[in-house]
């Protein structure tokens, strides 16, 4: 059994021998993301958590491209949008889950300027990924995109 603790916790959520302990809002976000992944994706489909948040992937036995584990502003600047775009398309990523509202809640919102504006995915993958769902938890909007057939 693995336990992941985020800050001081008041709530917990467990699945697949992994327990996540955090504040209520964080646990609600995780529960909803995990539930959506379990209901709407297959285990062999790759999911990119953007800019980061690997816990849902661990809890649902889903894979990602771990080269793109943390796409913070500085990493986007270093890798470049063209490299990120090519890597996502070449590695058969089927879904992108935009967790930037969650990440801006956890960390300094200024460090998420690019991703938190919500324009990175729409501009970088405007033809390849379309928004298919949105999870709303206490003013946080987690957007889910699916790769479209071209």
pTM attached to this predicted model: 0.81
145 to 24, 40, 49, 103, 148: CA distances (angstroms): 25, 12, 11, 18, 9
* Distance (Å, whole) CA 30 – CA 96: 15
CA–CA gap between residue 3 and residue 39 (Å, rounded): 24
| Structural contact between residues 106 and 86, judged by C-beta atoms closer than 8 angstroms | no
What burial class does residue 97 get, using C-beta atoms within 10 Å of its C-beta: 0-12 exposed, 13-18 middle, 19+ buried?
A: buried
Segment 115-147, tens digit of pLDDT:
545 678 888 888 999 999 999 987 788 899 999
User: What integer pLDDT is reported at residue 148 of this predicted model?
Assistant: 93
Of residues 98 and 104, more confidently modeled: 98
Q: How confident is the model at residue 77 (pLDDT cuts 50, 70, 90)?
A: confident
For position 67, what pLDDT does the model report? 65
How large is the average pLDDT for residues 47-70? Answer: 80
């Amino acid at each position: 059994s693995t336990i992941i603790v985020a800050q001081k916790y008041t709530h917990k959520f467990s699945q697949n021998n992994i327990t996540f302990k955090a504040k209520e809002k964080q646990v609600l976000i995780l529960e909803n993301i995990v539930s959506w992944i379990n209901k709407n994706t297959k285990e062999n489909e790759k999911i990119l958590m953007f800019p980061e948040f690997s816990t849902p992937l661990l809890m649902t036995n889903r894979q990602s491209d771990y080269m793109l584990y943390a796409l913070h502003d500085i990493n986007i600047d270093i890798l470049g949008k063209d490299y990120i775009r090519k890597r996502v398309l070449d590695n058969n990523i089927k879904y992108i889950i935009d967790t930037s509202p969650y990440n801006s809640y956890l960390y300094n919102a200024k460090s998420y300027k690019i991703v938190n504006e919500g324009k990175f995915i729409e501009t970088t993958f405007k033809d390849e990924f379309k928004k298919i769902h949105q999870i709303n938890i206490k003013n946080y909007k987690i957007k889910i995109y699916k790769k479209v057939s071209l």
